[in-house]
Structure 1
Amino acid sequence: MDVAISRDGTRIAYDRRGSGPALILVDGALGHRAFNPHGAALAGLLQDAFTVYTYDRRGRGDSGDTAPYAVEREIEDLEALIRDAGGRAHLFGMSSGAVLALDAAAHGLAVEALALYEPPFIVDGSRPPLPPDYAVRVGALAAEGRRAEAVEYFMTAALGLPAELLGGMREDPSFARMEKVAHTLAYDAAVIGGTMSGVPLPPHRWASVTAPVLVADGGKSEHTFADGADALAAVLRDVRRATLDGQTHDVDPEVLAPVLRDFFAH
């Protein structure tokens, strides 16, 4: 494990493997190095062509968590990682991590290119939007020590899972690991902002992004993801749009890796 020091002094833990151009993988909600086997597998598949960085976003795993939280601090965390990576990097963002990666590029970080898989935008009526008080409520549940309830609220309100599935999920060992980082669900809500509200994306939020961007979704995912990916592609300058046949939000690294390899090679 290595550590990058963010601008506010927060320690950001990361692993590095392989050789070649730097590629930083940005996790979505609840994900971190000890709780993302797909991320580790993807890094292993790409390490022959890239120096791949997997890291714990602040508040997760071995990284610190300096209060108060702000999205700008997470962007500064990526800035520190890019600095440790040699000053420039490719970014791959998964789900809400895709939005964070895009915001980092919009803030002027030295990003060569970005690949984004299923940013969780809700831009129409294809599924219910996030409740207006979602961010406040999920943060309050975690702050009150009701971490399991915070995770369940995320799963039903944000992921759209039926409530009847939650009982069985609580029995899975992975649920306890999600509870440990439940406070960071409010962080992801801040990153997402109003992009899950069922309205069009803000046309200027990423207007300053000049790096090439790949926006991908899975062919077997809910249609909401395709609608969001199309909406994002429509507001970016240099964009490639792709759909991975047979894939869902839980994308197979064996399918994803060659797509990323091809995109970042050009």
Structure 2
Amino acid sequence: MNIEKAYATGYIVSTDGTKIGYRQLGRGPSLVLMHGGLQASQSLMLLATAMSDEYTVYVPDRRGRGLSGPLGENYSIRRECEDLGALLDKTGAQDVFGLSSGALITLHSALHLPSIRKIALYEPPLSITPVLNKFMPRYEREIAEGKIVSAFITIIKGLGISPLLNLMPRFIMLPFLKLATRYGKEPEGDVPLHELIPTFQDDDFLIRETAETFQTFENVSAKSLIMGGSKSPDYFKVIIGKLAAIMPGARSMEFAGLDHSGPDDGGKPAIVAEELRRFFRA
């Protein structure tokens, strides 16, 4: 898969006037990919490339990062859904894939945007499991103290999404990650990790804000595919099972050997792309 495949950039203006930038590549029916927490559009470029021979793929930078404007006043799930809606209006896209918090936004958008035909969700972080409650206070304290790398380690260990790093002591991880974030060079146009780490609190806000909305997902009319990885934490399996049970016509599936990063550039996006093709073609 060619990670250097050229892409164009563009932007739309959302309901509140915020500029939302995106990367675009490929040719064919329009498809939108929504990235998750600690990510920007750069994180889904391998998946976008894998889909681009059949689709015109749009990968927005969610507000507060990259090509897009700031969070703005009254940041909320509604704002995120308005951003996605504006992109759908411009591109004519009816199909959306979302990873993690991007899946949460996609799911809520499907409740309010009738133009959405199909949604594919990869491990949306619904609040029906109390994982974030255990580590967010420490993360927030570290962010406030400017300890960005320590906050990143707190996220990794708190979410439990990397079994190997989970076993590694903090005192070993800290100097290595400090060097990586200080001297690592990002490709032109990519958002550096040290800028993405503080945005995790925005994703946490969305999860908490939507905590009491689970029952509304029985009203999602878009055809839905809910995906996860066999190596992901058990709480994602609980979420996927409950969503599949409440959403009419939803189908769930598990990728053997994949974890929470399965669709992104650090995972195995080609495998996920194969399933997305089958789903969106049907």
TM-score range, shorter chain: 0.7 to 0.9
Return the structure number with greater helix share: 2
Kindly report which structure 2 residues correspond to 1:180-259, keeping only aligned pairs within 5 A, or say none: 180-193=195-208, 203-251=214-262, 252-259=268-275
Match of 1:151 in 2: 152
CA contact (8 A) 2:18 2:72 kept: no
Counterparts of 2:138 and 2:70 in 1: how far apart (Å)?
20
* Shift in CA distance, 263/73, structure 1 to aligned 2, threshold 3 Å: same
The one-letter code of the counterpart of 2:16 is: D
2-structure distance, mates of 1:44, 1:164:
36
AA in 2 matched with 1:77: D
SS in 1 for 2:50: helix
Conservation of the 8 A alpha-carbon contact between 2:149 and 2:177: no
Q: 1:70 to 1:175 in 2, by over 3 A?
A: farther
Alpha-carbon spacing, 1:171–1:115, altered in 2? closer, same or farther (3 Å): same
Corresponding position of 2:132: 130
Give RMSD over aligned pairs: 2.7
| Paired letter, 1:99 | L
How many residues in Structure 1 have an aligned counterpart in Structure 2?
254
Deviations 1:189-226 (A, max 9, x none): 12222789xxxx85423232100110111123333322
Change (3 A) 1:215 1:138: same
Task: State whether structure 2 residue 98 is matched by structure 1 residue 83.
Answer: no
Native 8 Å contact 1:11 1:64 kept in 2? yes
Structure 2 unaligned regions, length at least 5: 1-8, 185-191, 263-267
Indicate the SS of the match to 1:130.
helix
Q: Flag structure 1 segments of 5+ consecutive residues without an equivalent.
A: none
Closer, same or farther in 2 for the Cα pair 1:8/1:122, shift >3 Å?
A: closer
Identity of aligned residues (%): 32
The Cα of 1:9 is off from its aligned counterpart by 1.0
Check 1:242–1:133 CA distance in 2 against 1; reply closer, same or farther (3 A cut).
closer
Task: Provide TM-score, normalisation by structure 2.
Answer: 0.80
Residue from 6, 10, 16 that aligns with 1:8: 16
Partner of 2:67, secondary structure, is: coil
Tell me if structure 2 keeps the 8 A contact 1:106–1:207: no
1:71/1:191 contact within 8 Å kept: yes
Shift of 1:229: 0.9
1:116 aligned partner, one-letter code: L
**Structure 2 vs 1, CA of residues 65 and 227 (structure 1 numbering), >3 Å: closer, same or farther?**
same
Matched position secondary structure for 1:206: helix
C-alpha offsets along residues 134-193 of structure 1, whole Å, 9 cap, x if unaligned? 3x7645654564433433332233346457253233332489722212332121112222
One-letter amino acid of the counterpart of residue 63, structure 2: R
- 1:143 touches 1:183 (CA, 8 Å); kept in 2? no
TM-score, structure 1 as length reference: 0.84
Which of residues 100, 113, 125 in structure 1 aligns to 2:105? 100
Residues 1:140 and 1:209: Cα distance change in structure 2 (over 3 Å): farther
Aligned AA for 1:188? D
Deviation of the 1:234 alpha carbon: 1.1
CA distance in 2, matches of 1:259, 1:45: 11
